[in-house]
A and B are shown apart, each in its own frame.
Chain A
Amino acid sequence: MTAVDNISLELRAGECLGLLGPNGAGKSTLIRSIVGRVIPDTGTITVFGAPAASPAARAALGWVPQELAVYPRLTATENLRAFGSYYGLSGTGLSVAIAWCLKWAALEDRAGDLTRTLSGGMKRRLNMAAGLIHQPRLVLMDEPTVGVDPQSRNRIFEMIEALRAQGATIIYTTHYMEEAERLCDRIAIVDHGRIIALDTHQALVQTSFSASSIVVARFSAASPALSVWTATNGGTVNDSTAEFAIDHPTDLARLLESASAAGLQLEDLALRRPNLESVFLQLTGRELRD
């Protein structure tokens, strides 16, 4: 199986690039290749001109893995001290870096607590801070919000936005389109190990849908008649819900008339602008969270 296939990425300084794709798309493998933990069968990876996994590349990269890769029996400060030491920091430089990380992750009041006693959100924030302790030129965040509640997720977003405000360059993987839309300057849509689209959020939507809007119509029940009607009008159906892209609002009246003529009982109707989910569906024929 090819996990990552012929991918080439270019980032501008201070940019946040999102890698958006479903689970198993190859996002994490790509990140692990960049940090030198996966050796590609063919091809090369260079980081700021240095080969991946070289000392120069390691020093330039900060990796926030998907797993909670911190020591549970160490306190937050001890964890940061350990990872700082692994990157060669010591003395005042290390102390300053620890203080910055604790403040950035809003863990100052829990700095002396054992990591295993922290909440899930706090552990996530510490996990992120440990990847930034050496102030890397490029930060790679691999789904940093996996398994956290909405409140903690917002806290993490604020941390990333604060980091971006300081000019950090970030590659951010996620399968949540809301995160990609909110945090990333450009978004690469990844599927089956390949980048199938790469642009800004607006440009991706514009390219796929022009000025179209999305109509979401939910009917009383799934039926063969619903499938036939949806196909006839160029939409997609999932259970009892059909989706269409329409270029003009007047197309909506025509759709509703034909549904009525087909004997379909409409329960709910929504009109919205296309989003990344719609783009992914358009490009792959599958939903992002399949």
Chain B
Amino acid sequence: MFLAIARTALVSLRRDRASLALSFVLPIGFFSIFATIFGGMHDNVNRIAVILVDEDQSAASHQLDQALEREGSLKVVTRPASKDKEPQPADYTAATAEAAVKAGDISVALVIPKGWGARPISFEPDAAQRSGPAPSGPQETSTEIQLLYDASDSIAPQMVGGLLQKVAMTSMPVTMAEQGMEHTADYIGGFTPQQQARMQESLGQLREQIAKRDATPAAAAPDAASGQSFGGLIAVNNRSVVGQGKNTNMISYYAAAIGVMFLLFTASGSAGALLDEAESGTLDRVLSSRISMTGLLGGKLLFNTLLAFTQLVVMFLWGWAVYHLDLFAHIPGFLVMGLCTAVAVASFGLLLASLCHTRGQLGAVSTLAILIMSSIGGSMFPRFLMPPAMQTAGMFTLNAWAIDGFQKVFWYGQPITALGPQVGVLLGIAVVLFLLARRIARRWDYA
């Protein structure tokens, strides 16, 4: 008897493709996405891009520059990427590097100020990894490495700060030792001539070892895996150049990210009314009136767009009321991005509904598509955490474009004119998906 029940259930499941997909395809899809994002399938650690500006141009700063470039975990950039047929752009300066971080082109920039090489190590208490503005003294300000960062990326600045300390200690041992000795001499009232001679002898041996090491390319790169650092002898002034003073941090990100994901679910569910109407015969009746299929889909697109936009308004108002999201300072940008996102999402829902034959099928297909789009498009976790290939794949989802647009508005405070790519892509997606939906819906035109 139990076997008969089980057999009946098995046969039913085999014939229910939607349930089969939810049972087997979705878990495997998600497992693969998470495995790809968080390592598993990759031998290489995701490299962090960082702009390096060397204003000092001293021997010590050159050593640090080279060491940073050799550091396997970092991708050091010294000038903007050159475009086709255009002259190579100039190297970053402190100002252009800060502008690049502010524009969201990169998360971190390191600026080695003039005079840093004369005194690379700081023995001042709490000198290293200080956040906020540097002390007012001109000497102190000029010798601290500036770490400029975008606070929306909570990982990269921490990583770069730690790697900077490690790289400095492993790449400049002679400088470190010399300065350490000088500091000790100041502290204890000077060394005897014999002590000074022995220290010079030791430094000579150290220089020889360094020369030998540098002559062997394979050994030149610091061992990224060793990860040991002295922990803060290089004075660094961490400074957030985007969102400084904001306490909303990632609120705008998640309002957009989560919002888009649920907009997609709502839009596909709402567009599913088309299937209900087809099943009940109402669609036939409507199409026998003066309403054409294009008119019907257009009306549903309008409704679903307004529904999605209203959802966004509610979500952002909640963010404003509860999490102090600065909504009212960005109304024009919000309207532009909200409407473009809403119409793209509505078209997506209509396409899914026209592709499916039953509500059950729509539920399975939309869950599958939306969760995958949301996971690689940045709705579940920020795309900067993902490997480059996954970040590129994310650009094929409307989530990524919508989130990027909202970030430009709320985080980077950019004007509407900067939203061109996002608006263009979202509207393009809306048009293409609507035309596809209309074409597929031909099956309802006539029997």
- Partner-B contacts on A (CB < 8 A): 32, 35-39, 53, 55, 58-59, 61, 63, 65-72, 83, 86-88, 130-131, 134
Contacts and interface: CB of A to CB of B under 8 A. Distances in A.
Nearest to B283: A69
Interface string B187-215: 00000000000000000000000000000
A67 B277 CA distance: 11
B447 A83 contact: no
Contacts of B288: 35-37, 58, 61, 63
Contact of A37 (B282, B290, B291, B447): B447
Q: Closest 5 interchain pairs by CB?
A: A67-B281, A86-B289, A69-B281, A69-B285, A69-B282
B447 A38 contact: yes
Given A32-B447, A38-B446, A39-B446, A88 B290 contact: yes
Contacts of B282: 69-71
Interface string B416-447: 00000000000000000000000000000011
Contacts of B285: 63, 65, 69, 83, 130-131
B250 interface: no
Contacts of B447: 32, 37-39
28 contacts: A32-B284, A36-B288, A37-B284, A37-B287, A37-B288, A38-B447, A39-B447, A55-B290, A58-B288, A58-B290, A63-B288, A65-B284, A66-B281, A67-B280, A67-B281, A68-B280, A68-B281, A69-B284, A70-B282, A72-B280, A83-B285, A83-B286, A83-B289, A86-B289, A86-B291, A87-B289, A88-B290, A131-B285
A71 B414 CA distance: 46
Contacts of A68: 280-281
Contacts of B446: 36-39, 53
B290 A86 contact: yes
Contacts of A66: 281
Given A32-B447, A38-B447, A130-B285, A69 B280 contact: yes
Contacts of A39: 446-447
A128 to B, nearest CB: 12
Contacts of B287: 37
Interface in B17-55: none
Interface in B341-357: none
Nearest to B446: A39
A39 B444 CA distance: 12
Contacts of A87: 289-290
Contacts of A131: 285
Most A C-beta atoms less than 10 A away, residue of B284, B286, B288:
B288
Contacts of B290: 55, 58-59, 86-88
A71 B289 CA distance: 15
A124 to B, nearest CB: 13
Contacts of B280: 67-69, 72
Nearest to A86: B289
A272 B291 CA distance: 51
Contacts of A37: 284, 287-288, 446-447
Nearest to A57: B288
Nearest to B447: A38
Contacts of A63: 285, 288
